[in-house]
Amino acid sequence: MNGRNTSKVHNQKMPFGQMPVLEIDGQKLAQSFAIARFLAKKFGLAPKCPFEEALVDSIMDQYKDFQNEIRPVFRIIAGFAEGDLDKLTKDVFLPARDKFFGFMTNFLKKNNTGYLVGSSITIADLLLAEFSAEFSKNVSNLYDGFPEIKAHAEKIRSHPALKKWIETRPQTNSITIADLLLAEFSAEFSKNVPNLYDGFPEIKAHAEKIRSHPALKKWIETRPQTKF
């Protein structure tokens, strides 16, 4: 199968015709936040009561709205669109950040436990801390005006179990799901669109780098052709 047909046939087997999908004991669960909520309950990161659970859901839904607002910025960074990145950062990203971080600051101040909801870490805390900590590597002034968000990220990531994992995880874990998605999409789609990388040498180099990782390369070379 070529890349296009492989993707089409594979997606037809998914509950909603797309990824991501978590498969457990032959059962498929789709949609990223549904998966996150399921795993949160499974590993003790769910709230303690129905109302707190609803509060966490509201934060996660607000995060999705935030993602949609800053999508134009990410499309340029990923190479899927052209535009003035500096202008979009100023006109789109920073106002969206101010609004989202403002909401999250209100939750932190009202709850007054160091967590967004309740008295222990929930999936909402992990989501906010991971986004802010990782994004601050590329946006040096991300926390400007939001000391509570910075303190929250530091608190969550200093949790003994999380801190140990962050410090001891293999360097290959610097590859994120975003890297995998971009590399897989661009590499597979280029099989059918020869000029896909025209004007975007960085995207081509990124795909080659990610797919040359020893573990990924071995899997790509040995995976059954009939898998999908």
pLDDT tens digits, 98-115 = 999 999 999 999 999 999
Picking from 66, 46, 69, the residue whose alpha carbon sits closest to that of residue 56 is 46
Cis-peptide, bond into residue 15, ω within 30° of zero = no
- Give the chain's residues under pLDDT 50: 1-6, 9, 172-173, 224-228
- Is residue 90 classed as helix, strand or coil in its secondary structure? helix
pTM of the model: 0.65
Cis-peptide, bond into residue 47, ω within 30° of zero = no
Picking from 93, 164, 165, 160, the residue whose alpha carbon sits closest to that of residue 131 is 93
Q: Which CATH number fits domain 46-168: 1.20.1050.10, 3.30.2130.30, 3.30.1330.10, 3.40.50.720?
A: 1.20.1050.10
What pLDDT was estimated at residue 10? 54
What pLDDT was estimated at residue 52? 94
What pLDDT was estimated at residue 6? 39
What pLDDT was estimated at residue 3? 34
Q: How far apart are CA 64 and CA 71, in angstroms?
A: 10
Q: What are the phi and psi torsion angles at 24 (to 5°)?
A: -135, 120
What pLDDT was estimated at residue 180? 64
What pLDDT was estimated at residue 131? 86
